[in-house]
Amino acid sequence: SLSLSRKASAVKPSSTLAITAKAKEMKGQGIDVVGFGAGEPDFNTPDNINKAAIQAINEGFTKYTPASGILELKEAICRKFKSFNNIDYKLNQIVISNGGKHSLTNIFEAILNPGDEVIIPAPYWLSYPEIVKLADGVPVYIRGEKEQGYKVNAEQIQAAITENTKALILNTPNNPTGMVYSKEELKAIADVAVKNDIYVVADEMYENLIYGSEEHVSIASLGEEIYKRTITCSGVAKSYAMTGWRIGYTGSSVEIAKLMGSVQSHQTSNPNSIAQKATVEALNGPQDTVEIMKEEFDKRRKYMYERVLNMPLISALEPTGAFYLFVDVSDVLKKEYKGEVIGTTEKLASILLDDYAVAVIPCGDFGFDDHIRLSYAISITQIEKGLDRIEKFVKSL
């Protein structure tokens, strides 16, 4: 018959895309929309990285490469894992792929069998459940409540483990909350993972973007036993303003790396040859542009947090990583607007877009249906303008 794949049909289209598309359309009509939806840095890719790519093209480095990536980049990644993350990975433990998203896909294809459960702490990045389901896994959700700093603890993870549990996803710094797990918290989580013999998929895409006195800790660095069970996933999209280049990478056991490499060899062959050369420069070249971007993000972060703190009806915890502010709007949802209870974050987002020309991300698809996400990967003048509008709205309720 002409029926379609049940698995593909069950994929939930990204709700954030609908808002972003509408905001774009309004901008096209000349409406001055402030977009707080951005999931990518607003900076250009640093020049030295662009130049390395141009050089790669001019030198004819435009052919297939080994499926799991070029040696030169694997060496750069091993060095970075050692110096920045304090993890020892050898070359045969590294797989380079077409972005962090693709790395996550590879990971779950490599470790899951049908029915295997994957624990996903909410709030979560909305792609995790879909990636897990596409790899025949079953997402199991636990909640990091606001009172816990939106983080889950070892006891909650232990309580969610069944005989079918295969892995836990751990995202620090976190999208959408901007929270960072401490070494002590990670140690306790590592103990649970080791005791129950489950994998930890450590998504550390935002590892370079931590503000204030907190530091990034990689769970795989906390001992031999947790190292064996962890797949560490990172990339250059967020740290180096390279979202369009599509390079992500993993460090894992040799066995898992082998499986990911062979899956990838049939699905996409190698990651883009030119982008791999650019990534060598990103990791090995001067890091001052990263610092400049970080300082700018930090200024915006402080400004945004202060402003929201002083508004009625909404609140937020101070984020210390990534470039998002996770805003509790539960009190706003109880209010009436134009004679109707607002009720849902989708409704709130459409009011803000239609009547205040501000695009925000409703977080139902991130597992928290009374929160919205504001990105500060836009200029400070835009942030100021957008927050003025949000303030006007909440004060009118």
Residues near ligand PLP (CB under 6 A) are 39, 99-101, 125, 171, 175, 203, 205, 235, 237, 243, 248
Query: Which residue's CB is nearer to ligand PLP, number 103 or number 307?
Result: 103
Query: Which residue's CB is nearer to ligand PLP, number 102 or number 229?
Result: 102
- In the three-class reduction of DSSP (H, G, I as helix; E, B as strand; rest coil), residue 233 is classed as strand
Write down the least CB distance from residue 271 to ligand PLP, Å. 11
d(CA 299, CA 36): 16
Write down the least CB distance from residue 62 to ligand PLP, Å. 22
**Contact by Cβ (8 Å): 193, 167:** no
The per-type count for the chain, helices as H runs and strands as E runs, is 15, 15
Q: Give the torsion through C-alpha atoms of 376, 382, 388, 390, to 10 deg.
A: -50
C-alpha pair distances (Å), 131 with each of 10, 76, 118, 143: 12, 28, 11, 19
Q: Give the torsion through C-alpha atoms of 248, 254, 260, 265, to 10 deg.
A: 100
d(CA 249, CA 94): 7
d(CA 198, CA 191): 11
Query: Which residue's CB is nearer to ligand PLP, number 50 or number 158?
Result: 50
Write down the least CB distance from residue 366 to ligand PLP, Å. 10
Query: Which residue's CB is nearer to ligand PLP, number 194 or number 282?
Result: 282
Positive or negative torsion for Cα 387, 391, 393, 394:
positive
Query: Which residue's CB is nearer to ligand PLP, number 290 or number 333?
Result: 290
Query: Which residue's CB is nearer to ligand PLP, number 237 or number 349?
Result: 237
Write down the least CB distance from residue 131 to ligand PLP, Å. 10
d(CA 395, CA 254): 57
Length of the chain: 397
Query: Which residue's CB is nearer to ligand PLP, number 99 or number 251?
Result: 99
Write down the least CB distance from residue 273 to ligand PLP, Å. 17
Write down the least CB distance from residue 5 to ligand PLP, Å. 23
Write down the least CB distance from residue 247 to ligand PLP, Å. 7
